[in-house]
Amino acid sequence: MNLNYKLICTSLVIFISGMFMGSFLEKPETKLKVIMAGVDEKGNSVCVNKNQVFLFKKLNGENRIIFHYHDALSKEAIVSKSFPDAETLETYWDQLVRNW
């Protein structure tokens, strides 16, 4: 009975840790199914599903990418993501285009 109990507990722990292993592996933001574009004026995070986006364009002079998406409640459904420098913008843009 004691050996069976240990085997069941060990296999349960291994199974549960295997299920949650994906949350510990770091995934680049461009491979996610949402675009995280910062926070709004209330401090809530602003995210848009990639399947809602119909156009995105890069503004090199302002170091940001603008995402146009479908929203029935808003005429101008636009989210922009800003970057600190041009190198970060280019890296994100290359990954975004490659992983879209």
Q: Which pLDDT score is estimated for 20?
A: 65
Query: What whole-number distance in Å separates Cα of residue 48 and Cα of residue 4?
Result: 48
Total number of domains constituting the chain: 1
| CA–CA dist 37, 22 (Å, integer) | 23
Separation of alpha carbons 32 and 96, rounded Å: 10
CATH number at residue 61: 2.40.50
Residue-range definition of the domain harbouring residue 40 = 26-99
Q: Is residue 5 part of a domain?
A: no
88, part of any domain = yes
For residue 80, is it within any domain? yes
> pTM value?
0.65
- Domain membership flag for residue 6: no
Query: Is residue 80 within 8 Å of 66, Cβ to Cβ?
Result: yes
pLDDT in tens, 54-87: 899 999 999 999 998 888 787 778 888 889 999 9
Whether the per-residue pLDDT at 92 is higher than 70: the answer is yes
- Residue 27: predicted pLDDT: 65
